[in-house]
Structure 1
Amino acid sequence: MLLTTQFAVDLLVWIAASVTMGAWTTAAFIRPRRGENRLMLVGDRALPLARLSSLVGVAACAMMANLTNTQGLGHGESLAWCVAAGAGLLSALLTFYKRWESAIYALALQAIALVAPIAATERAVAVNHDLTGDSRMIAAVAFTVLAGTWACRFFLSADDASSKVACFRMRFLSVIAALVVVVCDAITILAQPGQGLLDEDGRWHLARAAAAVVIAGLCWWSSSAVVSLVAAIVGLLGQYAAASAFRAVPVVDESSLPTDVETLGYSVADWPTLVNLVVNARVNVFFLGLSVAAIACYLWLVRRLHQQGGSWPWPRTFAWVTGWTIVAFLTCSGIGRYAPAVFSVHMFLNLGLNMLAAMILTLGGFITLVLRATPARGKKHAAGLREWVSSTLHSRYLGFMYHPIIALVFMTGTYYVYYLTSLFTTSLHTHWLHQFFFLHFLISGYIFYGLIIGIDQPPHPLPHLGKLALIIGAMPFHAFFGVILMAKQTIYAEDFLSTLGHEWVAARGLQHDQWVGGTIAWAGGEFPLVIALIALLTQWARQDRKEATRFDRHVDQGTDHSLDAYNDMLAQLAERDRSGK
């Protein structure tokens, strides 16, 4: 890769992102934070570095936006660089907010800044761009955090850097990140059309994966300053490979591709029969990886709790595993394959994520499991997973998202905003936007059902009467939305769906398929809410029985004098009435 102006600015963006994410990760997670202010990022030397590198990245993104606009690389990529600059600027501003959870927001913003240009160029090669797009973005974030954290290790004090806590966290981060990078880069190399490792793109992805493996190996060999310096240099070389791979496009003749392959990245020529919806699978890299990681983390916490002598109800484990299995099935089976091409299947998938999988996941009690499986640490010890989760639970952002009105608006309003506007058509053309809305439907459903029947206690717990009102309030919105779709004569995304060019599209009829989608929205939206209502009433009755049993036990033991006080009050009232006569 020649060192052109564009590549030099590209490389500066990748290095600045690496330093920024590494500085935030070091300050919040790697450094052993003790004392009264262990959940406050006060006086941390990594934060000024994060602020400086963020601003450098913002300037580089602005330069790239101008370069891509003047060189005719596309308005979409120029806009993506503007989004990256905005996210990086917000990340820099968060360095002035000293609470620990600001690191979560900053890392999320920096990840957006990093993947926005990748998302804008995901269709540089059309075939399998859904697979390569996901894997490229995930690998970019994982390696950037890995390389940056090792580069910022020198901002730890000698005692912190050599402590067992910091060494363990560095090793854990290195192994997990290296594993993610290797898997995702392998998917990119195998899924990318062309000659694989013989293409320039494949060689650069292989180089980055090799760099990740080397860093992971070095961290297990030694944690000395020399080894850390070598790991930082390897990380820098890996980012050079990442910047090179970003611009290297395999030479593939795509002039005669079918419309569906060009748009979706794969073929939907086979009829969407019930059998094909089940067995004609298409791997969704992001959601499959997310499901596997969530199940593995949950089972590890259950095992850790059992090792400590505790117990965990198996129905909760079953609910968590079942919920994520449903997520993986919906997104990776034929349902996920045909969702962008068949309106009714698309509606079924979103309702399955939003109304079914999310509801089951709330019964897993993941946050409760984390708090039980991780012991509380005194202020003389370094803050760990339990303290991080507790701090996040008390954050203003999470409190805002769990407000009943906000949860109801996100749960019901998203269907209207997404399907009844141009967002639906736009997402069909853009894989990453499709993925974003799948994730949004899952999260909004999880928050909504978490308020009603979830095992975990939300930031704003509701009384049972309030939960009942929330369910009743959501019911008419889903029914009305389904009626709108069934009665609508205008076909949503008609141009896109009709240009797929397969005979089954005309045979099914777009108008009829939209009517089926409306029917699914009506019935599929109401039925889970009825189930949630039954579960809520069951929990309500069970709690009343527990309270009645506890009250009776206290009365029998003589520890509850409320009944005696009530009888005394009645006696006094009777005595007053007699005196009045």
Structure 2
Amino acid sequence: MSAPAPNSDPSGPLPRDRRGTALWTALGVLAAVVLTVWTVLAAGEHAYLVLGYPAPGLVTTLGVSLLRLVLDLSAAVCVGSLVFCAFFTTPRRDRMVSPDGYAAVRAAETSAWVWAGAGLLLTVFDAADSSGQPVSEILAPTSLLELLGALDAPDGWLLSAAVAVVLALSCHFVLRWRTTIALSLVGALGVLPPVLVGHGASNAGHDFASDSLGFHVVAATLWLGTLFAVLAHALRGGAHQQRVALRYQRLAAGCWVVLAASGVVSSLVLVPPDRLLETRYGALVLAKVGMLVLIAAVSVPLRRRAFRAGTGTRRAVLRLAGLEGALLLGTLGISMGMAHVPPPNLLARDTSASELLIGYDLPAFPDPTQLLTAWRFDLLLGTAAVLLAVGYALGVRRLRAAGTSWPVGRTASWMAGCATVLVASSSGLGSYAPATFGVHMTAHLLLNMVGPALLVLGHPVLLALNALPGAERGGLFGPREWVLAVVHSPVARAVTHPVVASVLLAGSLYGLYLTGLFQWVMQEHWAHTIMNVYFLVTGYLWFWSVLGTDRTPRRVPQLARLGVTLGMMPLLAFFGVLVLSMDEPIADNYYRTLDLAWSVDPMAAQRAGALIGWLGGELPMLLVLVVLLSQWQREQGDDDAEHEGLFERLESTRS
């Protein structure tokens, strides 16, 4: 790789600025360690006794919390460095990473190895901690394997460590800028497994708690990790200092909003408001809220004052980010204490079977009134539907402000698609989908067929390429370049091949319901969420590749798209026939375990679901056929017009 680009900011950091940054960082790390140790020691054995098992000893207790601190810090640096390379740098002309991006990728590789090591050690320490045994007593392979098979939390650390190993190996060979976008996504997802099997995944309201904690952890990881990457960039005198600082400010503001909103939701679920002052967990929640308010109160005014006064960008970044990093590290130390102390919600003993399995009670039969009124907002898909609708509207508004028209039909289709996703995930359909197979198949149909078809007809990629800002001359890559990088990536070309997309779509039927996988998925909230996301994504990929109305990674011949559609229709019908002919209900044990106050005949619900999936699935296929045939007719008309024009020119030449 070539040498790093010269510093674009003539006012380089003074030695005292470097010393100040190092001092603030050291104070932040020290505060995180002290707060972690203090909260663990203050909790004592009570944190274990209330859960019904003995304390495993000081070495194991402190080891779990301090290793988790190391893992969270190294994971943040890894993910933040990858995000910095992907979204804060401009690649070279051959689309290889720039010198600044290369330095960030090397930092991500080193921190990923630390992340993996901490995750492997945490697997052992957490197994001992969760079973109330000193770590020295479970080191025998047979004892450790038995605990890993019986406990969920250690498996989360092991999976996170596996993701870290994949990232470390990938970063060692990565030289293409586009690859870092995918690695950033993998890294952000890699911090989630421990969260999804932690305290928030248990007891009533765990659907809200798990989703909000997932948002919380990802936002904190992005903010802290990107801050360290920006600091490292300033210290080495990287390019585009001003633009990097401004882009970081936007990211930090967004992460603060996500942290605040998700923190409020998870806190309301895990600790009742009237017990905030009565419990140790509530006190930690209030302390964390105070730190977030302090970060906003200190960082925002100082940042505005520094840039308004004309301070050199590198110097301003070092001074302000050093302080901000110290406050974030202190907040991380408080989070370690919250992970160690059981929340009051976890100790509730009057939880029903349905609350344990799906997070909430369903006291009434799912009649049409309940399906219309029993809303329970899905924090992932519901939020995505709202944000996608708002983002699309802002894009259309931007185009119109620039004097460019955008068809109303596309906007209506997109908004209808977002509304479909919202209804399928958050209305009574979404609430009752885990409780009865017929309602589940209705939600499946909306997420996998109807919603994606309407979204694709909204031409979102074309809108994004016209409305999003691109890179300025000599500046950082912008959102338009990010969209193009994803659309033209080999992965996008592979998954939008009609055959591959059809296999993925059919897998949501045959691979889920006919293999026993469905019963296992429904027992875990995180698996249920992944299932819904899979429905939506695979449906979108299929309609995106077959309809051919939007900007796509590959152009598929009209006849091939028509053939794929005609081939999918009997697959849907055959699935319906298979389910109708079954003698036993799908996931019968799961539905019986719910122990609801009302009941439906499982075979009747299954037959209704089969008919809904069969007949309802054919309607979007007919819509696709109509679109394809109209496209074909239009193309034939264009060809006929071209031939007539050629014939007229030949006749005029002869005459």
TM-score with structure 1 length normalisation? 0.90
* Mapped contact 1:24–1:107 kept (Cα < 8 A): yes
- SS of 2:343's equivalent? coil
Match status 1:537 vs 2:537: no
Aligned to 1:367, which of 461, 472, 476?
Answer: 461
Aligned to 2:212, which of 114, 122, 135?
Answer: 135
For 1:231, the aligned partner's letter is E
Match status 1:259 vs 2:353: yes
The 3 A distance-change label for structure 1 pair 70 and 34 is closer
- SS of 1:249's equivalent? coil
1:155 is displaced (CA, Å) by 2.0
The 3 A distance-change label for structure 1 pair 168 and 549 is farther
1:551 is displaced (CA, Å) by 5.5
For 2:161, the aligned partner's letter is A
* Mapped contact 2:469–2:478 kept (Cα < 8 A): no
Unaligned runs of at least 5 residues, structure 2: 1-38, 42-61, 132-149, 307-315
- SS of 1:65's equivalent? helix
The 3 A distance-change label for structure 1 pair 317 and 417 is same
Distance between the aligned counterparts of 1:239 and 1:21, measured in 2? 16
The 3 A distance-change label for structure 1 pair 209 and 139 is farther
- Measured against aligned partners, the alpha-carbon deviations of 1:127-182 in whole angstroms (never above 9, x if no partner) come to 10000100000111011101111122122247657744222211211111111111
Structure 1 window deviating more from structure 2 (439-448 vs 255-264): it is 255-264
Aligned to 2:151: 75
* Mapped contact 1:181–1:209 kept (Cα < 8 A): no
Structure 1 window deviating more from structure 2 (488-497 vs 127-136): it is 488-497
For 1:184, the aligned partner's letter is S
Match status 1:36 vs 2:105: no
Aligned to 2:333, which of 237, 240, 254?
Answer: 240
* Mapped contact 1:151–1:229 kept (Cα < 8 A): no
Aligned to 2:533, which of 432, 439, 442?
Answer: 439
1:380 is displaced (CA, Å) by 2.8
* Mapped contact 1:91–1:107 kept (Cα < 8 A): no
The 3 A distance-change label for structure 1 pair 59 and 337 is same
Distance between the aligned counterparts of 2:151 and 2:462, measured in 1? 46
Distance between the aligned counterparts of 1:122 and 1:340, measured in 2? 22
Give the number of the structure with larger relative contact order, counting CA–CA contacts within 8 Å between residues 6 or more apart.
2
1:422 is displaced (CA, Å) by 2.7
Aligned to 2:244, which of 154, 159, 166?
Answer: 166
For 2:601, the aligned partner's letter is G
Which residues of 2 match residues 208-287 of structure 1 at below 5 A?
208=288, 210-212=290-292, 214-215=294-295, 218-219=299-300, 220-221=303-304, 222=306, 223-252=316-345, 253-287=347-381
- SS of 1:295's equivalent? helix
1:269 is displaced (CA, Å) by 1.6
- Measured against aligned partners, the alpha-carbon deviations of 1:38-86 in whole angstroms (never above 9, x if no partner) come to 6635562111111111110100111111122334455222222111111
Aligned to 1:2, which of 20, 24, 40?
Answer: 40
Aligned to 1:449: 543
Match status 1:87 vs 2:167: no
Q: Identity of paired residues, percent?
A: 26
Aligned to 2:617: 525
The 3 A distance-change label for structure 1 pair 106 and 438 is same
* Mapped contact 1:35–1:380 kept (Cα < 8 A): no
1:94 is displaced (CA, Å) by 2.3
- SS of 1:45's equivalent? helix
1:206 is displaced (CA, Å) by 4.8
* Mapped contact 1:161–1:167 kept (Cα < 8 A): no
CA-based RMSD of the aligned residues comes to 2.5
Aligned to 1:197, which of 276, 293, 298?
Answer: 276
- The total of aligned residue pairs comes to 560
Distance between the aligned counterparts of 1:380 and 1:41, measured in 2? 13
Aligned to 2:189: 112
- Measured against aligned partners, the alpha-carbon deviations of 1:71-128 in whole angstroms (never above 9, x if no partner) come to 4455222222111111111112221222222222222222222110111125554010
Aligned to 1:487: 581
1:399 is displaced (CA, Å) by 1.3
The 3 A distance-change label for structure 1 pair 259 and 181 is same
Which residues of 2 match residues 339-350 of structure 1 at below 5 A?
339-350=433-444
- Measured against aligned partners, the alpha-carbon deviations of 1:453-486 in whole angstroms (never above 9, x if no partner) come to 2432322211111110110111111111111111
1:514 is displaced (CA, Å) by 0.8
1:305 is displaced (CA, Å) by 1.9
Aligned to 2:14: none
The 3 A distance-change label for structure 1 pair 383 and 491 is same
Distance between the aligned counterparts of 1:101 and 1:422, measured in 2? 38
- SS of 1:357's equivalent? helix
* Mapped contact 1:125–1:249 kept (Cα < 8 A): no
Match status 1:60 vs 2:98: no
Distance between the aligned counterparts of 1:265 and 1:76, measured in 2? 18
Distance between the aligned counterparts of 1:338 and 1:518, measured in 2? 17
The 3 A distance-change label for structure 1 pair 210 and 165 is farther
Structure 1 window deviating more from structure 2 (187-196 vs 529-538): it is 187-196
The 3 A distance-change label for structure 1 pair 193 and 460 is same
